[in-house]
Structure 1
Amino acid sequence: MFKKKTGIVVHRCIVRLFEDFSAVEYEFLETHKGNYLMDRLCQRLEIKEKDYFGLRFVDNTKQRQWLDLGKLIVKQCKDIHQLIFSFRVKFYPADPFHLSLNVRVLLYKQLKRDLNHGRIYCSSNEIVTLGALIVQEQFSDYDENIHTGDYISNLRLSARQTDAIEKKIIKKHSERTPGQDPITVIDEFLRISRNLETYGIEPHYVKDHQGVQMYIGINYSGISAFISGKRTQHFRWNEIRKLNFEGKMFIAHIGYMDTSREVKKYTIGFKCASGGACRYLWRCSIEHMLFFTLPNCQNACVNYGGGIFSRGAKFKYTGRTEREILNDFIYTSYSPLDGNGLENKTKSNSVPVTPSSPKGELPYIRYNSLPRSGVSILDTDIYNRNQYLMDFSDLLAIQSGYVKPQQSNIECHDKRHFFDSNEAHKSYSNYIPPSLNKEKSNIIKYNFNSLSKSTHNTNMDGATSLYKEFNNSKNTKDLRSLHMCRLFFPSIALFIIIMTITAFLIFESNTELFDSIRHAPEITAFIDNYYLPLKKFIKGNVIN
């Protein structure tokens, strides 16, 4: 971080690529969001499907995090002395062959790292096959004059690499068909890797309700639980109803349909090493579920995590979903010069021709024949009735002696409702609406005096009644607020007393009635994180 002469604070960061020895340096301002770095990096690497990638960093609590592209970089990376990002694949696609060649090559590099660091757990034969493909891609075809001795000893291929596995890889490399280009070898590597159970898995180490050490992996298909590298449980995204966390406990609400076509629901919990690791696991799960299940990013809503007794978290998905990326790929695959192109589609003949889209063979259609300003023919009766009331109000103004002659600025063609432009200078006193005959106008003149006399009394009575109603409503609101204040505090006190007694009965009694409640993931997390420390504090400080 440094300041320019203009006073603008500029921050610097280092972005590591898939090879640890290759890195780039960028500068950003305090107002820049995560998208700024991602766009510049993807432009440099010529990546179109940038939503599959992400920037990972380690925060001040030594917890790994993904940079949120929709938030400010400075707020996410507080108190970090040297800011280093790692450019990695964030969402592993179910079918890599729908993506561009450049993205497939970067995915191949990521999978090589996963195999080297032990994130891809597979059998020895699969390690030999994948290792031979890596050697084929780097050293080309096997040549006994060049590839002599233990030529792959300096090449790190797998976390379980041994001398016996290296010999098998050399033998497998010598048996491969010569003449294959590197792209064919990379595609074969991707085809084998995507069928593995640990494909696209980032291990999150947790414990189950019995305290057994295991790890959770998340990928395009759902959430999986592994023990000693073998998958023991798998929950698909369509079976997961809700994801939440409470303290260190990661909680998943599962619902599935059994053989009898009945929906079964249950809750499963996993205890993480810390609260930060639990929030990170929750966020990764939510982000993967939204990316692989939502039709578009517009349907993404704000997701809230954390229970009543836990510090909550909020997550808003940003970027495109996988379905949007694939739809854009299909859309761009059409050629505009092709007969099947999207731009050459003509209008269907079944659509009727309307005046808004006339054709050359219909010259007799006139736009003036349609009603204007959105007024339909059915509205003419309402329009005439409103005009009659307007004429009646003008006549009352004439009888009261208030005449306000004015110039008409409205051009109209219907003389039944408006003044003609040649008679705009005439006074209202000489005008009798044509909708009223002489007999009606005499009746109005006769009754107008009595109407004007009673107007003042009527207005006074109405104002008095409105004032009384206002006072009555105000008194009612005051009484209602008083009753709410009297009921609120006793109800809160009663609720606290009932919850305290209930918690004491559940946590301290050994009755079998509360066993199902006591072993629930939320209650287990509450006991470990809050109840037992509070009980210890009360015994040590209050009672003693």
Structure 2
Amino acid sequence: MPSEEGANEVNQQDAVPAENKTEMKTSPVKKTKPVKMQLCRVLLLDGTEYEVELDKAKGQQLFDMICDHLNLLEKDYFGITYRDPQDQKYWLDPLKEIRKQIKGGPWVFGFNVKFYPPDPSQLQEDITRYQLCLQIRDDILKGRLPCSFVTHALLGSYIVQSELGDYDPEEHSADYLSEFKFAPNQTKELEEKVMELHKTHKGQTPAEAELHYLENAKKLAMYGVDLHHAKVRQDEKDDSEGVDIMLGVCANGLLIYRDRLRINRFAWPKILKISYKRSNFYIKIRPGEFEQFESTIGFKLPNHRAAKRLWKVCVEHHTFFRLVSPEPPPKSKILRLGSKFRYSGRTQHQTRQISALIDRPAPNFERTLSKRFSSKSMDAAPGYAPYREQNRPDLSKLPPDMSASADAVGAGKLPYADDVPPQGDEEEAAVQETVPPVAEPEVNGTETHAAPEEPAPPEELTNKVDDEIPNVENAVVDELESQALADLIKEAADQNPDMTVTKVVVHKEEGEQQVTTNGTGEDD
């Protein structure tokens, strides 16, 4: 039996002061930080803007919200762009958080076509083709997609037919095209030609007119070409910085431009590996029919970020257009050197399969871009100028025949860009061809890893470009005869119905070409 003194001690221990009980009830609870939402502003292809507030969202969430807003199902051809403080354009990575990709500044984005379909007629829905038309039209207006006068007029006539319908002399006055914008340097003569062609499209629905628009636009030499500034050395021993060129990435491979002329192209099946180290970008070329060694070609980019950006674009384009499915991520947990970047979306092959399953009524949408472009230019909108002033050269003054005349340039030695690619921490991607399959050993499609040790390439690397690159008169003449002459002769015949072309003369003076047509009329 416990003593009275012990019982008092127990009672004292059990007794809790009133003030202590109050303190226990009001003990502070750990407060959670308020969620900080970030406003995202996205410039859409029709000139309008889409705003949404997000927190710790990844790029895919924003992309899906935009596509839902546009009612777009065939969304794999599109992407989201943003600009860094140096005004360089990047594609938003769908697998990474947005805040980790945007380094300060407002969250301002653009919704653009990322992969231009080689055959737009295979797109399933009219709304997808409409968005592609908007992108191409912006490319033309900003000088990124040069056209001839005839092409400007033809494409413009399809735009008018799509937005206004059939020509009606009672409804459409003489200046009904003044609010439309068809070309960077639009003239009254062009508007008159557009009006003339618009009259011939009677009966075409908006969807049919847009399909005709795309069928003509896809034939342009710069259609779907993503350009990047670079330099290349004329000779291995040359200590100069090199010659300015442009590297273009498209559905078919890698293109090389100099002085607004395409001087070479490397199709994806011809490329074995693409890699970069620091500010250097390299491609390894498969040996030709009469060649013994593989050749490695190097290019100097403005900086490391530019080289990596070009490398990523190449990996994405090759995967999307050439592979059946993206390369799966490696399962090995062993420490892996090099970039972990992989294209994470669907390939064109997968996109077409999924699009074929779309079963819904055609969505309704309004076509009003032309009026907005003429009455309210988004170039002056705060925060949007970088998206309208793309970091690509203004090719609006480029003759349409010159940009497509590279194939006629003879075989020769490639200008040597740099020393042998350094080994060790170089980022690379081997190129696997599976669509269509080729009779070559299979290697990893888009795997990025440290470059293996390999012997140095031969001192003189083989190439398909002439040593004297500027001497391309023959190439220009060939292209003039095949394309520009046909347009000019047709134009002359339309303006002079009674004239018969009897002679075509090509004048060449100081690198410029002038075409003169001589003809006779019935009254001569």
Normalised by the length of structure 1, the TM-score is: 0.55
8 Å CA contact 1:267, 1:521 repeated in 2: no
1:284 aligns with 2:310: no
Deviations 1:422-456 (A, max 9, x none): xxxxxxxxxxxxxxxxxxxxxxxxxxxxxxxxxxx
Which of 71, 86, 98 is equivalent to 2:122? 98
**Count of residues paired in the alignment:** 327
2:280 to 246, 249, 267: 249
Q: Return the match for 2:224 from 193, 200, 205.
A: 200
> Which residue does the alignment assign to 2:343?
317
Using the alignment, how far apart are the partners of 2:229 and 2:120 within structure 1? 27
Q: What does residue 144 of structure 1 align with? A: 169
Unaligned stretches of 5+ residues in structure 2: 1-30, 235-241, 332-336, 360-412, 424-524
Larger radius of gyration: 1
Q: What code does the residue aligned with 1:104 have?
A: R
- Asked if 2 retains the 8 angstrom alpha-carbon contact of 1:224 and 1:234, the reply is yes
* Cα shift at 1:275: 2.9
Q: Which residue of 2 aligns with 1:25?
A: 51
Contact 1:119 1:202 in 2 (8 A): no
Shift of 1:144: 3.2
The alpha carbon displacement at 1:195 in A equals: 2.0
State the 1:53 CA deviation. Answer: 0.9
CA distance 1:225–1:525, change in 2 (3 Å): farther
1:521 aligns with 2:422: no
Q: Look up the SS of the partner of 2:161 in the other structure.
A: helix
Q: Which amino acid aligns with 1:232?
A: I
CA shift in 2, pair 1:267/1:95, >3 Å: same
What amino acid maps onto 2:81 in structure 1?
R
CA distance in 1, matches of 2:422, 2:233: 10
Q: Where does residue 41 of structure 2 map in the other structure?
A: 14
Tell me if structure 2 keeps the 8 A contact 1:206–1:272: yes
CA distance in 2, matches of 1:263, 1:292: 29
1:54 Cα deviation (Å)? 0.5
1:212 maps onto 2:243 in alignment: yes
2:106 match:
82
Q: What is the percent sequence identity of the aligned residues?
A: 33
TM-superposed deviation, 1:288: 0.8
Kept after mapping to 2: 8 A contact 1:197/1:231: no
2:81 alignment counterpart: 56
**Aligned-partner SS, 2:147:** coil
C-alpha spacing 1:216/1:150, structure 2 compared with 1 (3 Å)? farther
Any conservation in 2 of the 1:92–1:220 contact (CA below 8 Å)?
A: yes
The RMSD of aligned alpha carbons is: 3.0
Equivalence for 2:511: none
* Whole-angstrom distance in 1 between the partners of 2:205 and 2:417: 56
* Shift in alpha-carbon separation, 1:250–1:159, aligned structure 2, 3 A: farther
Q: Does residue 67 of the first structure (1) align with residue 96 of the second (2)?
A: no
Deviations 1:177-197 (A, max 9, x none): 312111110000111111222
Asked if the contact 1:246–1:522 (Cα under 8 Å) also holds between the matched residues in 2, the reply is no
Partner of 1:165: 190
**Any gaps of 5 or more consecutive residues in structure 1?**
303-307, 334-515, 527-544
Residue 293, structure 1, aligned to residue 318, structure 2: no
Structure 2 CA distance for partners of 1:331 and 1:170, relative to 1, 3 Å: closer
TM-score by length of 2: 0.57
Shift of 1:332: 6.0
> Helix, strand or coil for the counterpart of 1:9?
coil
Q: What displacement does 1:166 show? A: 3.1
- CA distances 1:363-383 after superposition (whole Å, capped 9, x unpaired): xxxxxxxxxxxxxxxxxxxxx
Cα deviations by residue, 1:278-315 (Å, 9 ceiling, x for unpaired): 2211211111111112211254669xxxxx9xxx7541
| Contact 2:232-2:299 at 8 Å conserved across structures | yes
Greater relative contact order (CA < 8 Å, ≥ 6 in sequence): 2
Amino acid across the alignment from 1:8: V
User: What is the DSSP-based 3-state SS (H/G/I as helix, E as strand, rest coil) of the residue aligned with 1:257?
Assistant: coil
The structural deviation recorded for 1:153 is: 3.5
Tell me the amino acid that sits aligned with residue 295 of structure 1: V
Aligned residue number for residue 65 of structure 2:
40
Matched position secondary structure for 1:315: coil
Please give the alpha-carbon distance, in whole angstroms, between the structure 1 residues aligned to 2:217 and 2:339. Answer: 34
